Amino acid sequence: MNATNMHPHESGAARVLRAVPDEPGQSGDTWEQPVPLSAAQRALPPFPVNVLPGWMADMVDAVTEFTQTPPDLAGCVALSALSTAAGGRITTRIRPGWTQPVNLFLVVALPPGSRKSDVFAAMAGPIRAAQAELVELALPQIEEARVQKAVAEREAEKLEKKASTADAASIGLAGDAALRAQEIVIPAKPRLVVDDVTAEIAATIMAQQGGRLAVLAPEGGIVSNIAGRYSGTPNYEVFLRGHAGEYLEVDRQGRESDFIEHAYLTLGLVVQPQIIRDLGQIKAAKERGLLGRFLYSLPVSTVGYREIRVPEMPEHIAADYRARIGGLTLQLAMWSAPEVVDFSAEADEAMFALQAEIEPRLGPRGAWHHIADWAGKYAGTVARLAGLLHLADRPTDAWHHEIGVSTFARARELGSYYLAHALAAFDHMGKDEAYDDARALLGWIVGERLRQFTRRDAHRANRGRFTTASEIGPALELLEEHGHIRQLPLPERQGAGRKPSPTYLVHPVHQAADRGQFGQNGQNP
């Protein structure tokens, strides 16, 4: 196609992609439009910070600016912190017969070097501070119970030594003393959050903590634990039941089982993109509904485009956030049972409308059929988000007020964000690893604005991903098959020595690509 025969309303990028003449000095026919390296390149929405209450939105914006990270990261960790505070303490009732807890499973995927730990410290730090305060408050009670139990055990031991088979009364006294000692329970230190735990230990801690716990971590080790890193067998019953607030029996070696009437687990994880695929590879995870319980966030990385000089974090914003999240966490931790918060009649009508939209999309011909396990929980997810937003709006008395239709509308906007990212996450789970390698290699090519390179160059620059030279072959082949590069004929070998490394020409469109035009890793948006 000649460049002069293009449609007058085409964008500049579209014209470049449709047909690009060779660069001077390059041989061959006109370059055709390169084929994207995935079946679908979804344009994902940014995190809707505007739906959060002012005090939380201000903190998300401030942390985003200070750390130069995507707002999705701070926003999702803020929701994780709110879920940690409210899990097991607030339940939404949409209508009679349908309730939803408010604890969430959130996972954000970002590459290394994305300042995940800094954002976690700012957004989840108040939860750990509240936990430390709860421990300090509980220590006198714990120590008193320890002393009482020690005294009771000594008394029981004395009576047991004095008891005689000839004296039934003495045996009865010793038995009663032993029972009294057993009945004295030393409370466990309050534990709201852990950062890496096996399913078995998570269940044990939840039993000790009245059925609630959060796993908040800027790494994805918990995913390997779910997959059975230590046991060799996937163990996600704790996670299935902990998401739903269901009954959970905890078996213990050498001890009686613990029973949790309602288990409430929060997960707030920031992982490398590869972990999303690992999650999808856990045996039977999709069939059992584990994948459908996560809210996924796949923001565009800001690494390489961050400002160096940024304003300091406004202390009044950070102090207000710490006080509100910390105060809410401490207040709800003192409760012994969850409070039910009802939807208003108008909010319930809006929920009916959402359910009517969802249902036909789940069928065999529906747009969400391939993620029906996730989309089938979509209405419940929006209800959970509405409960959390309602609580954040009124952290001191939300349980005395109904969830209104405007709050539901904000929750639905937040739900739409997670729906779009879930579709992309499930796309990612289904991709072959070679495509990931090819995308990473293309990102290097575009980032360096290369006109040509050798196979040896590519391997040297990407040793972190390709440990041997042979491993890079499939990625190069995919890039060539999709029209992003062309291999030049190998020169004849002259005498002894190393075999010449293949040389590749780069599609001219990538040599002038910028991040806005081609998106992350040089991909066409």
In a domain, 138, yes or no: no
Residue 525, pLDDT > 70, answer no
In terms of domains, do 401 and 454 share one? no
In a domain, 143, yes or no: no
Q: How confident is the model at residue 518 (pLDDT cuts 50, 70, 90)?
A: very low
Q: How confident is the model at residue 249 (pLDDT cuts 50, 70, 90)?
A: confident
The residue type found at 267 is L
In terms of domains, do 344 and 485 share one? no
In terms of domains, do 83 and 34 share one? no
155's enclosing H/E stretch is: helix 116-162
> What is the CA angle 330-336-337, rounded to 5?
110
Let me know: does 129 contact 123? Beta carbons within 8 Å. Answer: no
Structure tokens at 110: 């970002």
Contacts of residue 418, defined as CB under 8 A and 6 or more positions apart, other chains included, come to 295, 296, 297, 381
In a domain, 172, yes or no: no
Residue 225, pLDDT > 80, answer no
In terms of domains, do 423 and 445 share one? no
pLDDT of residue 17: 33
Contacts of residue 169, defined as CB under 8 A and 6 or more positions apart, other chains included, come to none
Q: How confident is the model at residue 252 (pLDDT cuts 50, 70, 90)?
A: low
> Most distant CA pair in the chain: distance in Å?
113
Residue 94, pLDDT > 90, answer yes
pLDDT of residue 516: 39
Let me know: does 356 contact 331? Beta carbons within 8 Å. Answer: no
pTM (whole model) above 0.85 = no
From 429, 452, 484, the end of a domain falls on 429
Residue 272, pLDDT > 60, answer yes
pLDDT tens by residue, 373-403: 999 999 999 999 999 999 999 999 999 999 9
Distance, CA of 473 to CA of 299 (rounded, Å): 29
Range scoring the smallest mean pLDDT among 55-64, 194-203, 260-269, 383-392 = 194-203
pLDDT of residue 2: 38
Among candidates 37, 28, 16, which has minimal Cα distance to 510? 16
In terms of domains, do 424 and 436 share one? no
From 429, 444, 463, the end of a domain falls on 429
pLDDT of residue 21: 47
Distance, CA of 211 to CA of 38 (rounded, Å): 42
Residue 40, pLDDT > 80, answer no
In terms of domains, do 414 and 369 share one? yes
pLDDT of residue 268: 95
In terms of domains, do 512 and 365 share one? no
User: For 393, how many CA atoms within 13 A lie in the half-sphere containing its CB?
Assistant: 21
Distance, CA of 88 to CA of 492 (rounded, Å): 72
Residue 495, pLDDT > 70, answer no
From 429, 461, 495, the end of a domain falls on 429
Let me know: does 72 contact 107? Beta carbons within 8 Å. Answer: no
User: For 177, how many CA atoms within 13 A lie in the half-sphere containing its CB?
Assistant: 20
User: For 89, how many CA atoms within 13 A lie in the half-sphere containing its CB?
Assistant: 26
Go through the chain and tell me how many residues it has.
Answer: 525
Over range 81-107, report the average pLDDT.
97
pLDDT of residue 16: 32
105's torsion region: left (phi>0), alpha (psi -120 to 50) or beta? beta
Structure tokens at 301: 């990385």
pLDDT of residue 229: 59
pLDDT of residue 454: 93
pLDDT tens by residue, 312-370: 999 999 999 999 999 999 999 999 889 999 999 999 999 999 999 999 999 988 889 88
pLDDT tens by residue, 1-37: 333 333 333 333 333 333 444 443 344 457 888 877 7
In terms of domains, do 421 and 497 share one? no
Residue 65, pLDDT > 90, answer yes
In a domain, 147, yes or no: no
Q: How confident is the model at residue 431 (pLDDT cuts 50, 70, 90)?
A: low
In a domain, 221, yes or no: no
Let me know: does 218 contact 231? Beta carbons within 8 Å. Answer: no
The Cβ of residue 220 has, within 10 Å, a number of other Cβ atoms equal to: 20
pLDDT tens by residue, 116-146: 999 999 999 999 999 999 999 999 999 998 9
pLDDT tens by residue, 183-207: 888 889 999 999 888 888 888 899 9
Distance, CA of 481 to CA of 442 (rounded, Å): 13
Which CATH number goes with the domain that contains 460? 1.10.10.10
Q: How confident is the model at residue 255 (pLDDT cuts 50, 70, 90)?
A: low
Distance, CA of 370 to CA of 406 (rounded, Å): 31
Strand, helix or coil at 165? coil
Contacts of residue 95, defined as CB under 8 A and 6 or more positions apart, other chains included, come to 343, 348, 351
Residue 244, pLDDT > 90, answer yes
Q: How confident is the model at residue 482 (pLDDT cuts 50, 70, 90)?
A: confident
State the DSSP string of 78-135: HHHHHHHHHTTTEEEEEETTEEEE---EEEEE--TTS-HHHHHHHHHHHHHHHHHHHH
Strands 105-109 and 193-194: unpaired
In a domain, 315, yes or no: yes
In terms of domains, do 327 and 343 share one? yes
% helix, strand, coil for the chain, step of 5: 55, 15, 35
Q: What total of structural domains would you count in the chain?
A: 2
Structure tokens at 198: 């096996």
In terms of domains, do 364 and 473 share one? no
Distance, CA of 158 to CA of 152 (rounded, Å): 10
The range of the structural domain enclosing residue 517 comes to 8-38+432-522
In terms of domains, do 272 and 403 share one? yes
pLDDT tens by residue, 141-187: 999 989 988 998 898 888 888 887 767 788 888 888 888 888 888 88
State the DSSP string of 18-35: HEEPPPTT--SSPEEPPP
Better-scored residue on pLDDT, 200 or 81? 81
Instruction: Report the mean per-residue pLDDT for the chain.
Output: 86
In terms of domains, do 277 and 352 share one? yes
